[in-house]
Amino acid sequence: MADTLSDLSKEAKQYWGDEQWGEYRNVRYETAEHVRCEGNHERAVYLYVEVMIFDLQGVASGTGGNGFNQAYEGETPAVVQELARFCLRKNLEADALKSVYDEVSDEFWVDAFPRTREDVWEELRAIVEEYRTTLRLRKKVEKIGGHQLLTSAEATSFAEIADDYEILQRVETLLESEPPTGIPWEKRKRAHDYLASVDVRRLGDRWKGKAFRWAGEVVLSNGEKDEALRYFEKALEVAGRDEKATIERLANMVRGGQAQQKAS
């Protein structure tokens, strides 16, 4: 560890002296990852903040450049995620993070930076808070299971930050213990909203089949049998082998009900 850190430190000093800011930023990121993996999370936070300052200043880190360009301004998700995780784990609020930022800025600020300290701080704070909110929400979703619901505002936020598969996994958790013809209204409404936020065109066939099946169950619980049957038939076209028997049973149940209605 000592040799690795020593080598990284020498590289960083060389790039700093040569004003090779892109290379310097990359070495500092490598150092941050190294000390984090060694368990020194406090030290890593200072390094991640430094790296993020360079990113938000628009350093051309991918090209080894020595300048800054507005076109490159933006966070690196892996860096922000580690900062957000640390802040969440340590319950570190904005004031404490600002202290870290000030210490890093005092030591590593570059005269060539095009943006002011305050400007960069405001963006860094907002980005880290957004990522922390996302992590907190995902943790809550993992914990609550299928018998509790997020608040309406939380559900809306979750649908915005989660990918299609995460959303469908949440729908599966909500509906797995409910009868397909008697889903409680609140769960029915929530599952409907989640499914409406998913772009089925981006899904693989297996998950596309699940999405159509759950949509069928939701509208079936609303009493919309014709619409439910259309969803079940769509599901049968793409569903995996393990799903088809269940979906066929649901479709036959609806067809049987329709036949009885016509006979009477």
Asked whether the whole model's pTM tops 0.75, one would answer no
Tell me if 22 sits within 8 A of 63, measured CB to CB.
yes
pLDDT by residue (tens digit) across 33-65? 999 999 999 999 999 999 999 999 999 755 455
What pLDDT score does 14 carry? Answer: 94
Domains and CATH numbers, the chain: 2-141 (no CATH), 146-263 (1.25.40)
Residue type, 30: E
Residue 53 or residue 239, greater confidence? 53
168 has a pLDDT exceeding 60: yes
Q: What is the pLDDT of residue 167?
A: 95
Q: Tell me what the mean pLDDT of segment 95-103 comes to.
A: 95
User: In the structure, what pLDDT confidence band is assigned to residue 2 with cuts at 50, 70 and 90?
Assistant: low
How would residue 228 be classed by pLDDT, with cut points 50, 70 and 90?
Answer: very high
Number of Cα atoms under 13 Å in the Cβ half of residue 148: 9
**Average pLDDT value for the chain:** 90
